[in-house]
Copies of this chain bind each other. A is one copy, B any other.
Amino acid sequence: MSVTAPRGFRAAGVVAGLKDSGTRDLALVVNDGPSRAAAGVFTRNRVKAAPVLWTEQVVKGGRLRAVVLNSGGANACTGSDGFQDTHATAEKVAEILADSAGEIAVCSTGLIGERLPMDRLLPGVETAGAELSRGDGGLAAADAIRTTDTVAKIAFRQGEGGYMIGGMAKGAGMLAPSLATMLCVITTDADLDAAALDRALRAATGVTLDRLDADGCMSTNDTVLLMASGASGHTPDEEAFTALLTEVAADLTRQMLVDAEGASKAITIEVVGAGSVDDAVTVGRSIARNNLLKCAVHGEDPNWGRVLSAVGTTDAVFEPDHLNVAINGVWVCRNGSVGDDRDKVDMRPRDVTITVDLSAGPHSATVWTTDLTADYVHENSAYST
């Protein structure tokens, strides 16, 4: 299922030999049409990996025949040679599909600053091309894009009128503003043009994938692609399609949150009473990135002072003595000072919800993050060795 849940798509996930572990590391997703309308959103990091530079150009055309993804190497900070490697990968897919490289997207994830072993990658693309299927292919592809992800992430939803949206994602660390090392491919057999897909994708990711901020580190490789085959023959209402797409993106976001590297808590930060949505997101991100608070949550300490301290670093509209904070439903801070008894807060569940009321307006936003743990330090100390 996953990306092959909607009609018109085939996929494969194979072992190309890029990872030392010998597990699957190359995925291919092909859109057999009749439409090939597509949209994409990318990292806002100014240091962009070669596959991002390539795929941004490709997606500008509004059409994608296929996307090839590899784990085991980010192909970032690899100069013009690295860009040539991405180009050669797209050309190989185009050759297999007898199509144009200009409609082939490429995504990579893994260590920065090393060339990809093209002598293994290109034969891997051939193997993937031979194994494309509608059945197991979607799951194999989701498996092949994992790096430190402990599980493959897939989601799908049925829309009114007989169309489907399916998706796969990877991302366990570097999850921060703008989808950080997050790769995500979403497919649909709805019949929508590229402009409609672009609007829907930006709206859906803006409130889901883009608000997952595990460690504040923005990747060089983030890519989210939306591909439409039109094979259902149905053109859904754009608002309904966006809502369903948001559900799929939220489902994948939740899966990445729960699987984040070394985390023991999934933290939902709800900012309410904000003067604007931007203010709410700014405050939410500031809290999500506060290492001291993340340590406190790890220690099951409802340390609302660290929440206020994080809020105070932003330029959002608020008065310090009008701030209220609830942790798991207990309003431990009222009017910027001590509120209800902090001993009433049950911090034991894996899910922790922090609610901040800025008392400054009617707007709100939710940001997700994780706690900071010794396991996180351990996993990220030894990543490249």
Which residues from chain A sit less than 8 Å from chain B, CB to CB? 44-48, 74, 76-79, 81-82, 111-115, 173-174, 177, 215-220, 289-292, 295-296, 298-299, 301, 303-306, 308-314, 318, 320-321, 323, 333, 335-338, 372-374, 376-385
Contacts and interface: CB of A to CB of B under 8 A. Distances in A.
A152 to B, nearest CB: 23
A384 B301 contact: yes
A134 to B, nearest CB: 37
A142 to B, nearest CB: 24
Given A45-B313, A296-B383, A382-B301, A291 B113 contact: no
A305 B77 contact: yes
Nearest to A46: B312
A295 B375 CA distance: 11
23 contacts: A45-B309, A46-B318, A47-B309, A76-B308, A76-B309, A79-B321, A79-B335, A82-B337, A111-B305, A114-B338, A216-B289, A217-B291, A217-B310, A218-B309, A219-B309, A220-B312, A291-B291, A295-B380, A296-B380, A372-B377, A373-B377, A374-B378, A377-B377
Contacts of A48: 312, 320
Given A78-B337, A384-B301, A308 B378 contact: no
Kindly name the residue among A310, A337, A381, A382 whose own CB sees the greatest number of chain B CB atoms within 10 A: A381
Contact of A79 (B111, B305, B336, B384): B336
A287 to B, nearest CB: 11
Given A301-B383, A338-B77, A320 B47 contact: yes
B380 A112 contact: no
A298 B112 contact: no
Please list the 10 inter-chain residue pairs (A to B) with the smallest Cβ-Cβ separation, ordered nearest first.
A112-B305, A299-B381, A47-B312, A79-B337, A295-B380, A374-B374, A45-B312, A113-B305, A46-B312, A215-B291
Nearest to A82: B337
A45 to B, nearest CB: 4
A149 B113 CA distance: 38
A292 B147 CA distance: 15
A174 B115 CA distance: 39
A79 B320 CA distance: 10
A55 to B, nearest CB: 17
A45 B323 CA distance: 14
B380 A308 contact: no
Nearest to A113: B305
A47 B296 contact: no
